[in-house]
A and B are shown apart, each in its own frame.
Chain A
Amino acid sequence: MKSYLKRKAVSSAHERYLQKLWFTQLQVWSTQLAILVIFLWIWEVAANRQWIDPFLFSSPSRIWSLAVQMTLTGELLHHTWLTLWETIVGFLIGTLAGIAVAILIWASPFLSRVLEPYLVMLNSMPKVALGPLFIVTMGAGFGSVLAMAISITVIITTIVIHHRFQSVDQSYLIVARSFGATRSQIFRKIIFPASIPDMIAALKVNVGLAWVGVIVGEFLVSKAGLGYLIIYGFQVFHLTLVMVSLWIVAIISAVMYQFIDWLEHRWIHHRYS
């Protein structure tokens, strides 16, 4: 690390400054790690000494050994992979369809005004309540879970991106129009690229929403997946299984979020700021 700092430093004062930054970063990381370790330790001790009921709240060691056991049988990977796949497909389709609808209604201001009350209604409606409709039309399986994830992401994406299209800096539009740009040129050269940061922000929000859709979808219909494990564990009162699934959902959704965050930084480094 020292040599890395030296390479970037332009002077010894700058090197000290970088070291200070690095030291603060280390402090943040170690505090974060300490909080996690202490939390798990208190949980473990509390469960072992019966301060909390280990039957209800399980304990880190029980969760760990069940996770290891289920990994060895391949069961955990199977359920995790299914849920992950449903989430990724659901959130990609939901986001892309949302952007596509936003483009469509941007192209026709008349259509946009006609559809507005419907969009508002669909947006404020709890999409989870559509579950029974999905099940009767698509059967109790993959299709319904996917439909849930898509329905929960698509409307809000449409509204946010369409709003963004409309609020692009007027001076950009005047410049393009003064050069004689057609409406389609204005969209391709100005409005769409100007909205890319917001589309990536929508991806970030939609990761979280798609997880909600998939887990609830699996609660309702599925015979597999992490949502299924949670509801199954709850029904047979095997709460360690619920905890294992919760931890995996938490870890994977955080990783997905970080991945999009990384994508955002890579893609739009200093171009948009």
Chain B
Amino acid sequence: MKTSLYAIEIQNLTHTYFTKKAEMTAIRSVSFSVNPGEFIVIVGPSGCGKSTILSLIAGLFPFTEGEILLFGAPVRQPSSQVGYMLQKDGLLEWRTVDANIRLGLEIQHIANAENIAYARKLLNRVGLSDSLNKYPTQLSGGMRQRVALVRTLATRPDILLLDEPFSALDIQHKLYLEELLVQLLADGQKTAILVTHDLEEAIAIGDRILVMGGKPGQIRREFIVPSELRQLSPIKARGHPAFRPLFEQLWNEVETP
């Protein structure tokens, strides 16, 4: 296996969906690379293919053209190196929180005492250890999303793919979860790609922002978040003087058709 400097390398990625009536090219010739430990945010209007890129990196279905490399290895199917989190938490209603956070461990046949203890430790980190034996219907939306985050991190993925995980939450939960996410990722030196339509969120937690647009979707522009913002926590970054100017720039870029 050849080694790579990059955690994720995407080369000339094109994907076309086929239906009986038509074909629809969601993304065309998308290329970008992500360094290990880097936090990339992809923003853009609905239907620009943001989510498609994440599902392709997750290996959920085969892509039409191009190549995706994770630490130098081509993606052909879902990998245990990748954790994937969606806006819909997908918590199994018939399992307790404890059983839900073990799902990935069970599927990957690594549900040993050490890993289960690790998952419970993560649950403690997100402040939900007293909900261990509750069922998802007994939890609020924010709590459910925290459980989903723990479930995703429990298998210790190196790469985290986040598809608008916080967009259904109220602002308080959203900020709290952003803080948690940034802390948890910093602990593990994880690489992450977040897809969102919330530009403030993008600046507050990203290291680099890719703006997508058009049909089929392409990368229109790239913004590097200045280091003084990167060092701050998401809530503090929102109050920094450098925040607004970047937000204006980003806003103009996303708005223009």
Contacts and interface: CB of A to CB of B under 8 A. Distances in A.
Given A176-B107, A270-B135, A194 B94 contact: yes
Size class of the B contact interface (CB-based, 8 Å): 20 to 34
A196 interface: yes
Contacts of B82: 178
Given A178-B82, A180-B78, A271 B94 contact: yes
A270 B136 CA distance: 10
Contacts, number: 64
A175 B103 CA distance: 9
Nearest to B88: A171
**Sorted from nearest, which 3 A-B pairs have the closest CB atoms?**
A178-B84, A171-B90, A171-B88
Contacts of B94: 193-194, 196, 268, 271-272
A179 interface: yes
Contacts of B138: 270
A254 B121 CA distance: 50
Interface of B: 55, 58, 60, 77-80, 82-84, 86, 88-90, 92-95, 103-104, 106-108, 135, 137-138, 151, 155
B106 A189 contact: yes
B155 A174 contact: no
Given A174-B86, A185-B107, A189-B103, A180 B92 contact: no
Contacts of B155: 179
Interface of A: 169, 171-172, 174-181, 185, 189-190, 193-194, 196, 268, 270-273
Nearest to B148: A175
16 contacts: A171-B89, A172-B90, A172-B92, A175-B84, A176-B103, A178-B84, A179-B78, A179-B104, A180-B78, A180-B107, A185-B107, A193-B92, A194-B92, A270-B138, A271-B94, A272-B94
A201 to B, nearest CB: 15
B89 to A, nearest CB: 8
Contacts of B92: 172, 190, 193-194
B108 A179 contact: yes
Contacts of A171: 86, 88-90
Contacts of A175: 84, 86, 90, 103, 151
B88 A179 contact: no
Nearest to A269: B135
B91 to A, nearest CB: 9
B77 A180 contact: yes
Most buried by A among B55, B78, B95: B78
B90 A169 contact: yes
Main secondary structure of the interface of A (DSSP, over half): helix
Given A174-B60, A185-B107, A189-B103, A179 B80 contact: yes
Contacts of A189: 103, 106-107
Nearest to B93: A272
Contacts of A271: 93-95, 135
B78 A178 contact: yes
A179 B107 contact: yes
A185 B104 CA distance: 11
Given A270-B135, A270-B137, A271-B135, A177 B86 contact: no
Contacts of A172: 90, 92
A94 to B, nearest CB: 25
Nearest to B60: A177
Contacts of A176: 103, 107
A172 B83 CA distance: 14
A174 B108 CA distance: 15
Nearest to A175: B90
Given A174-B90, A178-B82, A194-B94, 6 more contacts: A175-B103, A180-B78, A181-B107, A193-B92, A194-B92, A271-B95
A96 to B, nearest CB: 21
A174 B95 CA distance: 17
A273 B107 CA distance: 25
A171 B88 CA distance: 7
A179 B92 CA distance: 14
Contacts of B78: 177-180
B4 to A, nearest CB: 21
A266 to B, nearest CB: 14
B20 to A, nearest CB: 14
Contacts of B58: 178
Nearest to A173: B90
Given A179-B155, A189-B106, A189-B107, A273 B80 contact: no
A176 B58 CA distance: 12
Nearest to B138: A270
